[in-house]
């Protein structure tokens, strides 16, 4: 998930620590004056070109991501408890990214990810097949 969006044109400096930014119409419900700590200088890089028109933003400026697959599985030890985790690859309106999530939450919310029983490079072997 990107931490910053843009680049956007700086319209004017407001006081010592704020700037007014030219925002696109899709961000019109956002205040256009930002504290300098929320801004970063943009250094041009041709590989940074992103088609922002394809991203469907909700009214609260978030976007929908969907789980594509489970890539890995592990058990984390925390205060003597075993916590099963799964590495979920997310997609949707943005490029794919992966995060570690609680297996129980993912099974409850997205049961279709567990329908095949396969995770990443694991294969299912029935009893007596070895």
**Structural domains for the chain:** 10-54 (no CATH), 65-114 (2.40.50)
Residues ≥6 apart with Cβ < 8 Å to 4: 40
Question: Residue 8 above 90 pLDDT?
Answer: no
CA distance 65 to 99: 12
pLDDT at 52: 59
Encode pLDDT of 89-119 as tens digits. 988 666 678 899 999 999 999 998 888 655 5
CA distance 52 to 116: 34
Strand order in the sheet with 18-21: 10-14, 18-21, 33-35
- Position 5 confidence tier, pLDDT thresholds 50, 70, 90: confident
- Position 124 confidence tier, pLDDT thresholds 50, 70, 90: very low
- Position 14 confidence tier, pLDDT thresholds 50, 70, 90: very high
3-state secondary structure of 25: helix
Encode pLDDT of 34-82 as tens digits. 999 999 888 887 776 656 556 677 777 777 788 989 999 999 999 999 9
Span 12-39, average pLDDT: 90
Residue carrying the six token digits 């992103």 = 50
Question: Residue 7 above 70 pLDDT?
Answer: yes
Q: Does the model's pTM come out above 0.85? A: no
DSSP state of 121: T
Neighbours of 88 (CB within 10 A): 21
């Amino acid at each position: 998930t990107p931490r910053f969006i843009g680049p956007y044109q700086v319209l004017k400096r407001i006081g010592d620590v704020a700037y007014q930014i030219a925002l696109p119409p899709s961000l019109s419900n956002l205040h256009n004056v930002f504290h300098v700590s929320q801004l970063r200088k943009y250094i041009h890089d041709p590989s940074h070109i992103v088609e922002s028109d394809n991203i469907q933003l909700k009214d609260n400026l978030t976007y929908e991501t969907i789980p594509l697959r489970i890539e890995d599985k592990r058990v984390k030890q925390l205060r003597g408890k075993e916590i099963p985790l799964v590495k979920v690859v997310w997609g949707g309106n943005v490029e794919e990214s992966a995060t570690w999530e609680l297996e129980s939450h993912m099974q409850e919310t997205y049961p279709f990810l567990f329908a095949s029983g396969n995770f990443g490079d694991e294969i299912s072997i029935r009893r007596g097949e070895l």
